[in-house]
Each structure stands twice: as C-alpha cells, then as structure tokens.
Amino acid sequence: MRVKRVIGGALAGAAVLVPAVACSSSGGGARPAGESAAPVESSTPAPSSAPPEHPFTGQPVAARRPVLAVKIENTHAGKPQMGVRSADLVFVEQVEGGLTRLMAVFSSKIPAKVGPVRSARISDLHLLPMFGKPGLAYSGVQSKMIPLVRAASLYDVSDSAAPRAYFRQPGRVAPYNLFADTRKLIAAAPKSTKAKDIGLVFADEAPAGGKPRTSFSVRYPAARFTFTWSAAQKRWLVAQDGAKDMAAEGGQLGAPTIVIQYAKTTRSQFHDFTGSYTPLIQSTGKGRAVVLRDGQAYQARWSRPSEEEGTTFTTADGEPLPFARGQVWIVLAAPKPVQP
C-alpha cells in the first residue's frame, strides 16, 4: 500500500458537485398546477477538521515554526543532556576519536534550555541544507571552517554570534557547562526557514515486512548504542556504552522511531589538536538503512539526490516506509566501524 507523504497545510478549493437532474414529460403537457419542481441538491464536502501534521514528526501541529539545530555533547562527561527529549529529530554523527556528537533539530516543541552546547563539524554543513536555512547553535569551529560556515545555508547563532543566548550551567564543569536559552536562539535568527517536507512519511499502523526485534546495537570505533523496545512506553529506549541515556529533565531518552542510516564515512581535511581527523559523512546519494518502530526492524533503502533535498526511506520494492509518529533518531553510521 502506497503511503502519501505528510505535507502540512489545510486543503483549499473544495469542489462543488451538482448532480444532473433527469426530466420526463407525461402526455407531453406542462407540469400540473400546484406541483412543485424537485429541489436540486448540491453536495459540498465538509472541510477536514484534522489539524495539519508536522513534517518532522507526523504529529498534529497548529502552525509550522522556524527550525533550530543545536550541536550537543554526547560523551559521559557531558551527561545528562538537557532539551534532547523535546527535539523533533536527533542526528547521531561520528566525530574525532571514534566518538559521537548529537545534532538536535527543534521546531514543533521548544524547550526552555538546551545543552551542553558543543562545536560544529563539517558534516553538519552538508546535512542542514535540507531544512532550507535554519538556525545553528554551536560553541565554535576550527578556524579553517569559519569561511565554510559563513557560506553555508544557515543562520549562525553560536556563542560568538549570539552571546546573550548562552550561559554557564551551575554544577557543571567546562567545557560541558555551556547551555543556551532556546527562545533567545530563535529570536537571534528571526528569518530561519520554517519546517518543511524533508522526505519523511508517517502512519499510525506499522507496515508489513518487519521482523520482531527487542533491541538493536550500533557500534562506532569508540562508542556503542543500544536501542531497546519498550512496549509499555511505545518507544525505543537509548543506552550508550552499557548505560541508560537519561535526560536532565528526568526519564530515559528514547523515540518511537530509530533509523540507522548507513553512510560512507571518510577522512575530511579537518583534525583536532591531537591530530585525530574529523570524519566526513556522505549524507547524499543512496544506501542501506534499518528502521526500528513498534518492536520491529525493517530493512530499508535511503536516497538523497542533493544536499538541498530531504532523505527518503523506502522498502526494498521502492514503497515509502512510514515512521511511527513522534520523535525520530537518525543514527548516521559507517557500514563498518571506521576510524578515518
């Protein structure tokens, strides 16, 4: 069964249907006096009362808001993270040393605070164009990357560009104590693109073709994620390196849909002060994916023709693969763990 892509906005221009009325004559004369003509009925479909759905989550939303992406620390030293559970999308990206960092994307829900905010990477600049021109919150980049950030399709709301949006969180140590007021970040980029279709589709019912799965693990050179299905919460709960990923606001992080998008990962021109090179994730092109939803794993294919376009996920026969409604994690992983 083909699933239509979720596109927000109310339907306009309801058609007015006027049925044809057949006329007959008895004895060829005029209509008898006092006999009235049968009324001509028109049928106008009632406008849909269902609210539009958000293109990132498939959930009802009153209006589309600007898109804000935030780079967030993802090592033990920076946990628990704040604001991640409110994100529409959470991207997991490999960084130096085989570790990972998150890029949380917000639009439908905006938490009060988010962090720890950390530095951006070259792969971010290749992912963000699918959102148009969103705001990007981060705590700095290598000097060689500055010209690329300035030329990228984004509004810079880093701690250098929008310092009043940032603060040091008590009880945390640097550099893991830099947090941000998300409303101030959005105010600093008032022209950020509003949420739009990025290729995802959603459905209440799980499609056919999945295989029951209670957990799924993804390995990086120096990190390991495990996603465990909770039938009670209807979410895949996140653990890293054997420990539950807890939110600073309370509860374990998790999402109704987890996507493992296998993408070629190579060495970029950038490296840290230790000489460890920054991975470059090839997020355009085509590849293999695994989609986790409703306690099942689906073998899938992904396609993103260009950086300005979103990523579509399909079954082996090319049918759109619908996600469960709600937060989506997209785990960008090399087909085999690789240390560029």
Residue 50 pLDDT > 60: yes
Distance spanning both ends of the chain, measured CA to CA: 41
Q: Which CATH superfamily is domain 68-333 in?
A: YerB-like (3.50.90.10)
In this structure, the strands spanning 89-94 and 155-156 are unpaired
Query: What is the pLDDT, as a whole number, of residue 267?
Result: 86
DSSP code at position 78: G
What tens digit of pLDDT does each residue of 101-150 get? 999 999 999 999 999 999 999 999 999 999 999 999 999 998 899 999 99
> In the numeric block, which tokens belong to residue 238?
């996140």
pLDDT of residue 139: 97
Query: What does the pLDDT average to over 160-166?
Result: 98
d(CA 330, CA 187) in angstroms, rounded, equals 27
CB atoms within 10 A of CB 271: 15
Q: What share of the chain is helix, strand, coil (3-state, %, to 5)?
A: 10, 35, 55
Supply the pTM of this predicted model: 0.85
- pLDDT reading at 321 higher than 70: yes
Q: CA 185, CA 229: separation in Å to the nearest integer?
A: 34
Domain ranges for the chain: 68-333
Give dist(CA 164, CA 210) in Å, integer: 48
Please answer whether residues 333 and 263 qualify as being in contact, where contact means their C-beta atoms are separated by less than 8 angstroms.
yes
Rounded distance between C-alpha atoms, residue 138 and residue 320, angstroms: 33
Comparing 214 with 338, the larger pLDDT belongs to 214
Classify residue 115 by its DSSP letter: B
Residue in 317, 333, 336 with CA at minimum distance from that of residue 95: 333
Q: What is the mean pLDDT of residues 95-99?
A: 93
Q: Does pLDDT of 195 surpass 60?
A: yes
Strands 135-137 and 68-72, sheet pairing: parallel
Q: Percentage of residues in the chain with pLDDT exceeding 70?
A: 85
If you average pLDDT over every residue of the chain, what do you get? 88
Q: What is the pLDDT of residues 269-320, one digit of tens each?
A: 887 777 788 999 999 999 999 999 999 999 999 999 999 999 999 998 899 9
Q: How confident is the model at residue 334 (pLDDT cuts 50, 70, 90)?
A: very high
Q: Which residue has the higher pLDDT, 37 or 196?
A: 196
Residue 129 three-state SS:
helix
> How many Å apart are CA 216 and CA 271, to the nearest integer?
31
* Residue 47 confidence class, pLDDT cut points 50, 70, 90: low
HSE-up of 6 (CA within 13 Å, CB side)? 24
